[in-house]
Amino acid sequence: MLADVQRRHGPASLPKLCNWMVELIGPAIDQFRSRPHREKLHVEAEKVSREGNLSALLKLVDDPAAIRTDEMGFARAKRDYLTAAREVDRLQREIADRTQIAETSGRQAVAIVSSVCATIALVGIVLYAMMHR
């Protein structure tokens, strides 16, 4: 309302009133979930308060595009967090089942060693047979 009065009737600059309004709109700025955006808004609010333009101050907190972007960013962050949490849970379940991992790895190692030994034995038998002919 004060921004509209200033726009219609002046004066063009009200820095002290704007400075007071910055304190009042602090909770509105803090409603944004994006920390970098909140910090940017606090800096811009201080800058605008020095200029004394209430309409510009109002636009900082009443910007539908910024609000929508913040909501979409928060929704994306929640999705990313849930995806990461599910992956952590999956990995923890896999790690918790160390016995199965050890058995599977052991079986694979034994199979490889047995195959190598069998191949060496077969080559040895074939060479022995060829030499004693």
Residue 54 class from Cβ within 10 Å (0-12 exposed, 13-18 middle, 19+ buried)? buried
Share of the chain above pLDDT 90, in %: 47
Mean pLDDT (the chain) is 89
Largest Cα separation within the chain, whole Å, is: 118
Report the number of secondary-structure helices (H) and strands (E) in the chain: 6, 0
- Is 16's pLDDT higher than 90? no
Residue 53 DSSP label: -
Helix 54-61 × helix 35-51 angle, to 10°: 170
Question: Which of the pair, 83 or 14, is modelled with greater confidence?
Answer: 83
- Is 79's pLDDT higher than 90? yes
Q: Write down the pTM of the prediction.
A: 0.58
Distance CA(111)–CA(117), nearest Å, equals: 10
